[in-house]
Amino acid sequence: MFIFMGSYSGGNNQTVSTDSEDQESTEDHSQAGIDDYTGDDGGDSEQDSSADEAAAGVAGAAVSAAGASAASGAAGAAGAAGAGAGAGAEPPECDNDEDTSESENQDSETEETKQPESPEIEDPKREDDIGDPETETELEDHEEKDTDHNEDADNDEENQETDEDDEDEDDEEDEDETLVVVQRVDPLSAMSWAVQPVMKRVEECYDDDVELIYKPAPVREFDPAEEKQHWKNVSQELEMPVDPSFWDGTPPESTALLTKAFEAANRQQRGIEFIRALWRRAIAAGHDIANKEILIDLATDLSLNRQQFIADLDAITLDSSEDIDLPKTHLQIHDLPVSWTGRIRYTDFNEQFTFQGIDEQEPQDLEGFVSEHGPVATPEVMEIYGVHREKAVESLQNLAGVSSFEIGGERFWDL
């Protein structure tokens, strides 16, 4: 089916229109519209019908040719003009059906001869693509949005990775900013035991910024008489209990066995608890501890792994050195080493930390301190909380569930 979409312009169309009007005027007929046709005159109806059919055929062919090109449109206009002239002529006295058929065939042959090959016509569906969400423009928009979304996702991942890297760097910086204080001690160093109140105060007042690590000093040999005198001097200088009678009788010749035991406990992260127990028994109470079975039993009492302790005690080898003044305390501040040997005071640490901008903190409450570090001696409480002996004892006695025992004339407290 062909649908006539519009009229053709040009001289030929003008001629066709004029000839048609003249012909209609000559025949003295008024052509009615399709909707107004009534068919009153039978003979005229047959003629008009034949003419209309011929014209319709020609018009249909012209419409087919019109969609192809302007050249085919011109050919269709010429055919329409000829058809208009034929429609106004008197039909011959013959069979109308045959004449009409022959006329249509001739016109069709003429149109087929004149009609050029139809050019390729663009797919009409492309017009329907307008407004479709999958047009090129919208596809580009979708692609841009997808690209932006992917870029945002990549940026988010990069930002997350950057944040994680920053957090790791912050953690590393925090670790780097922590000052590590290393103190080398041995179980028969009276001064190492006597400065424990100072070291506990450093732990309490700089807990967030300072890490305190105890390591065994090299193995040393000694003269019992000289070492006994040294213990007497320490007991007179400081308040922690020291019993020089340890050197009477048969004392050990060196610190080898005791230092190995200390290192074995260190390998189980219980070194400070173990050496404090050795100090209480040897230095404060004056008891002989240079015995392997005593050391193993003590490790077991502190809940260390007995078999591992024994194995480490046999396997550990340590360096030895000349007699040195203990304890040896060392810390590193911006690649600048700071060291002390022998007695050390709280003000020595405080001055260094203040210079580095590290603020002193308040110690935890007394109950927390005794629970974490007990058994603790009364002089340790006096140093940390800055109170005299009577006040320290009174405060300790008022703690709920506190217990105490006496060694070397000094009381020790535990929760």
Q: Could you report the per-residue pLDDT of 96-129, keeping only the tens digit for each?
A: 444 444 444 444 444 444 444 444 444 444 444 4
pLDDT at res. 343:
96
CA atoms within 13 A on the CB side of 137: 4
Q: What is the model's pLDDT at position 148?
A: 57
Residue 123: the pLDDT is 47
Q: 377 by DSSP, 3-state: which?
A: strand
Of residues 94 and 379, more confidence is placed in 379
pLDDT exceeds 60 at position 273: yes
* Confidence category of residue 336, pLDDT binned at 50, 70, 90: confident
Q: What is the DSSP letter of 231?
A: H
**C-alpha closest to that of 313 among 277, 269, 262, 254:** 262
Question: In the CATH scheme, what is the code of domain 174-360?
Answer: 3.40.30.10
For the chain, the structural domain boundaries read 13-26+44-114, 174-360, 363-415
Is the per-residue pLDDT at 263 higher than 80?
yes
0.75 surpassed by pTM: no
Distance between CA atoms of residues 282 and 255, nearest Å: 12
Span of 115-119, 232-236, 351-355 with lowest mean pLDDT: 115-119
CA pair distance 255, 230, nearest whole angstrom: 16
The two domains 174-360 and 363-415 share their CATH topology (first three levels equal): no
Q: What is the pLDDT of residue 332?
A: 84
Pairing of strands 179-185, 210-216: parallel
User: What residues contact residue 268 under an 8 Å CB cut-off, 6+ apart?
Assistant: 304, 305, 308, 309
- Determine which of 125-129, 158-162, 216-220, 392-396 has the lowest per-residue pLDDT on average: 125-129
**CATH level 2 (architecture), domain 363-415:** Orthogonal Bundle (1.10)
